Amino acid sequence: MIEGKPMHRAAGKACLCALGSMALLAQPKALVAAETGWHFNLGAGVVWAPKYPGSDKITAFPFPDFEATYGDWFFATPVDGIGAGFQPVENLTLSVALGVNLEERKAADDPRLTGLKDAGYTPDARFDARFETKGCFIEGTLRSRLGAAAGRGTELEIDAGRLFLVQGPHYVSTGLTVSFMDETYARTFFGISPDQAAVSGLRPFPAQRGLKDVGGFVECSRALSQHWELYARVQISLLQPRAAESPVVLRTLQPSLVLTTAYRF
């Protein structure tokens, strides 16, 4: 495990970037390096994020923040699901997990979505790779939605930044983030077929794979006492043309905030 970051938590991304469209609940609470035996976190959190990718409405999403880990390789959480990580070489950590993707879009979210198919919560498979050296890091997370055909898709998100004020497992970090989507994901959240256009009144939009958004983030993990921990992440992303030009997008600037607190034992 890399000092200051858990090998199985993706630098706050899972929570903010996932729920930045409501799928980001995989946010981190850094663990102590080289742990052994079972450890648990129990707490709660809330995410403020756009109602769906491209929405102009912000919604609050409370969630239980429970995590069980064994050593520094096995983890289980309600959202990240069950996974394992390992460190093949110094400074590089890899992890795989099967969890829940909370990104969704429903026709009821906005009148202009009438006639478009809903995309709900789905199981998802995740692969994460993180390289860290001298306080700098780059991390990539690949997420594939495994639900019904109408709601599938794959995203690749890359964070790059620097750690500050590192105190054991706790830290402050800031950096840049960029995400890419495959054609299936683009079709699920931004595409409008001719049939859907006829029902909704929106112009057809042929979804294409490519760059989804770019942005920046600041995140912090801090100890409040011997057992209580606080995590926060603020992120602002800007949808790029292959997403932003879709008629379902009402605002291209997508802000999000995650706050969690948990008791560690």
Average pLDDT over residues 171-189: 96
CB 5 within 8 A of CB 132: yes
Among 1.10.260, 1.10.3470, 3.40.50, 2.40.230, name the CATH number for the domain at 13-264: 2.40.230
Question: Can you read off the two tokens belonging to residue 203?
Answer: 């112009």
Query: Quick one: pLDDT band at residue 26, thresholds 50, 70, 90?
Result: very low
CB 264 within 8 A of CB 41: yes
Which tens digits make up the pLDDT trace of 196-218?
999 999 999 999 999 999 999 99
Average pLDDT over the chain, rounded to whole?
Answer: 85
**Alpha-carbon dihedral 34, 38, 43, 44, rounded to 10 degrees:** 80
pLDDT for position 4: 40
pLDDT score of 120 more than 90:
no
How many alpha carbons lie under 13 Å from residue 242 in its C-beta half-sphere? 18
Question: H or E segment at 242?
Answer: helix 241-244
Lowest mean pLDDT across 61-70, 136-145, 232-241: 61-70
pLDDT score of 181 more than 60:
yes
| Exposed/middle/buried for residue 213 (C-beta within 10 Å: 0-12, 13-18, 19+) | buried
Quote the Cα angle for 164-137-160, to 5°: 100
Average pLDDT over residues 106-117: 89
User: pTM for this one?
Assistant: 0.85
Lowest mean pLDDT across 56-60, 146-150, 202-206, 211-215: 146-150
Q: Which residue has the higher pLDDT, 73 or 203?
A: 203
Going by their DSSP bridges, the two strands 228-239 and 253-264 should be labelled as antiparallel
Question: Can you read off the two tokens belonging to residue 18?
Answer: 């996932």
Question: Can you read off the two tokens belonging to residue 219?
Answer: 């995140």
Average pLDDT over residues 19-45: 58
Average pLDDT over residues 239-263: 96
pLDDT for position 1: 36
How many separate helices (H) and strands (E) can be counted in the chain? Answer: 4, 12
Average pLDDT over residues 79-92: 89
Residues 183-204 as b or e (16 or more Cβ within 10 Å = b): bbbbbbbbbbeeebbeebebee
